[in-house]
Amino acid sequence: MSNNIKIQIPESIADITLSQYIEVQKLIDRELDEPSFMERVVMLFSGVSKRDVKNIDIKDYTMIGQSLALALNTKSEFQDRFELHGVEYGFIPNFDKITQGEYIDLTSTDLDNESLPTIMSVLFRPVTHSDSFGNYQIEKYDASLERIEIMKEAPMNVVNGAMVFFCNLANELESYILKSMEAQEEERNLQ
């Protein structure tokens, strides 16, 4: 008797949620041997039980592993908007106008995997208005646990794109600050 199991696996980073990504990172941190790690990753992304994973043909199992590795390593571009559960979310449209609460929550949160849902809940909020020119407004900031939970389901391509944007912004700001400090030092030396 043949038992056919249909397994749906992510084809790209866009098919992987933030919560799944965090779970993979926890598995990496556990430093499991390769077979145990792969088994748990396949279970995580397919929703298939351990017993059923053990019954997958080795050829199919290898293909699943390769597909998952490819999906996890897909490059991501910055997206200022995305849809999740029928709601359009938009990135903070103007960093010059962020609130004290947004600033504190962004700067006091560690940039680690467990904090990514919190960071995403600050950066992306439901779009309340948009126009035909691509401009949009988002909901006022509300540091709610509900919004953090929702962001755990955000697609990783959006999360990665936002983190790349954020890192680039931080590097630009650091460069600007260093140049400004050097200019101030030169000015002091001339006096």
Q: Which amino acid is at 110?
A: D
Residue 101 CA, chain-centre distance (Å), reads 21
For the ranges 85-89, 118-122, 130-134, 166-170, the maximum mean pLDDT occurs at 85-89
User: Taking all residues of the chain, what is their mean pLDDT, rounded to a whole number?
Assistant: 85
Strand partners, 126: 89
User: Token pair 């017993």 is at which residue?
Assistant: 51
Residue 1 has pLDDT above 60, yes or no: no
Residue 138 has pLDDT above 70, yes or no: yes
What pLDDT shows up at residue 69?
Answer: 85
Q: Using CB atoms within 10 A of its CB, is residue 136 exposed (0-12), middle (13-18) or buried (19+)? A: middle
Axis crossing angle, helix 116-123 with helix 156-190, rounded to the nearest 10: 80
Domain range summary for the chain, segments of one domain joined by +: 13-72, 81-190
Q: What DSSP string runs through 122-176?
A: HHEEEEEEE-TTS-EEEPPP---HHHHHHHTTSBHHHHHHHHHHHHHHHHHHHHH
Task: Assign 155 a pLDDT band (cuts: 50, 70, 90).
Answer: very high
Task: Assign 149 a pLDDT band (cuts: 50, 70, 90).
Answer: very high
Residue 96 has pLDDT above 70, yes or no: yes
